Structure 1
Amino acid sequence: MARMFRVLGLFTLAIGLMAFAGDMTEMALLFFMQTAFFVLFSYLKFTEKTYILLFWGYMIVTFTGFSYWTVFIMGLPL
């Protein structure tokens, strides 16, 4: 399970680098922070249940933040 967090770190790093190359600095920094989060947690030798709980917590925070941003910050088209 720890290797999957390294794979997620690799994917977020690739997305961050592409965002940086596309002049989207804020998005790139967000994905670089996610990369650090995933790589750091992959080396902490947690149990499989802890990794699953961390991933679910990450997903809940991410989807909640994304939904908030798209509805309240970007606004719905009328």
Structure 2
Amino acid sequence: MRQSAKRWVHGDLHPANVVVADGILAGVVDFGALFAGDPAWDLAAAWMLLPAGGAPRFFNSYAQADESAIRRARGPAA
């Protein structure tokens, strides 16, 4: 599998680190785990934070969400 170039990632996206307003992601907080790494770490949050079927919309909006990164994200999500 191809490793992506390192990017700044939140690294700790989970329900306690996001702000939701009216069912829509409105913000991200707690950047204490911010690091340069594989965007797959942040992409993994799609399966942990969003309702069923919401991941594709998240991936379409995330700049580094190519097919390879989405495949790599399955590991951290598990």
Common fold: TM-score over 0.5: no
Higher helix share: 1
The higher radius of gyration belongs to: 1
Higher strand share: 2
TM-score, normalising length: structure 2? 0.31
TM-score, normalising length: structure 1? 0.31
